[in-house]
Amino acid sequence: MPESNRELNRRDLLGVSALALGGLAAACAPGTPGDEGAPTQDLSDAWSATPESLFRNFVRVRADLNGGVSPWWWSGVYVAVTPDDNPRVLFAAEGCETKRVERLDENRYEIWSKVMTVFKDPETGDILNGKEYRNPFTGEMNQVEPNVIGSHMILEPDDQGRITERPTAGGDPEALDLSWVRSGDKLLMVGSRDYPEERPIPLAEYGTTVVDVPALNDPGPSRVEAVFSSVYLAPWQRFLAMPEKAGHAVWHAVGRKTHGFHELTPAYLAEAERYIPDVLAWAD
């Protein structure tokens, strides 16, 4: 297992936030003494000088302009929030959202995306797919299932320069809710997802992606490396069999854009071969 993808058990989770904040602070701090001879990097706002460059860089962050797969690996927790109790970690979680784009014309891309999340014992880190789990709220035994969802969209800017997406199956384009926050040589891309009102409530998603400004200002590479964090609010997973239970789930994840499936943890990759072999075939 790559050291960078080492899994943490529940006792380790308390230190994750402090480590992440400390790492971000160090990454955004001014250069240390001795860096004076380092090559000058482009820290300008050239990456967003025109709507075209902004859109191109957005696609480079999200995927790979050359059509290569971009697996976004993450690790996190699945937390139960109920009216009468403190939040409770039901599962550790590990997931990967794989993205692939195909250029249709100068400012239009077709993008495929599919994510699988596996739920794990928060103490041991063991993957629970297909195993029995005693629901602490109902006392019943539930068979754990992975969460697998996907989308197939068209990405393009609208007349106002906003980045939009629409399903390939049809429908109106919707502008993405995006904002950018600069911190030193880092750029934070902050986004949220709007869901139709007829969907189960609550349902919301908020995420922040962090990239290097000099990487965005280098037009050569077809992709830009990134790390991210996200929070997702949703009704209970179906396999928990408690739709009437008051409350909701909060998913929290921290991860990175990997260079390929070979960088996923062996345990996760084994589950991917079982449940989403079609996605792994994207790399062929």
Read off the pLDDT of residues 55-102 as tens digits, 9 standing for 90 and up: 999 999 999 999 999 999 999 999 999 999 999 999 999 999 999 999
Which residues face 93 on adjacent strands? Answer: 76, 119
| Cis, peptide link before residue 87, omega less than 30° from 0 | no
Q: 3-class DSSP state for residue 65?
A: coil
Residue 194 pLDDT grade (very low, low, confident, very high; cuts 50, 70, 90): low
Is position 5 within any domain? no
Residue 2 has pLDDT above 60, yes or no: no
Is position 126 within any domain? yes
Q: 3-class DSSP state for residue 12?
A: helix
Which pLDDT does position 106 carry in this prediction? 85
Are 106 and 117 in contact by the 8 Å Cβ rule? The answer is no
Which residue, 148, 137, 150, is CA-closest to 99?
150
Which residues, 6 or more positions from 30, have their beta carbon under 8 angstroms from its beta carbon? 184
Is position 25 within any domain? no
Is position 274 within any domain? yes
Residue 268 has pLDDT above 80, yes or no: yes
Residue 129 has pLDDT above 90, yes or no: yes
Domain with 143, as residue range(s), is: 42-283
- What's the structural domain count of the chain? 1
Query: pTM for the full model?
Result: 0.84
Is position 240 within any domain? yes
What is d(CA 130, CA 126) in angstroms, rounded to the nearest whole number? 12
For residue 47, the tally of other CB atoms under 10 A from its CB is 25
Q: Name the H helices within the chain.
A: 10-13, 16-28, 51-62, 213-216, 266-275, 277-280
Is position 2 within any domain? no
Tell me the mean pLDDT in the region 3-26.
35
Q: Which two tokens stand for residue 54?
A: 């902004």
Residue 202 pLDDT grade (very low, low, confident, very high; cuts 50, 70, 90): confident
CA distances from 67 to 95, 103, 110, 253, 284 (A): 22, 8, 10, 26, 12
Is position 252 within any domain? yes
Which residue, 36, 34, 98, is CA-closest to 67?
98
For residue 9, the tally of other CB atoms under 10 A from its CB is 13
What is d(CA 249, CA 226) in angstroms, rounded to the nearest whole number? 26
Which pLDDT does position 27 carry in this prediction? 37
Residue 192 pLDDT grade (very low, low, confident, very high; cuts 50, 70, 90): confident
Is position 33 within any domain? no
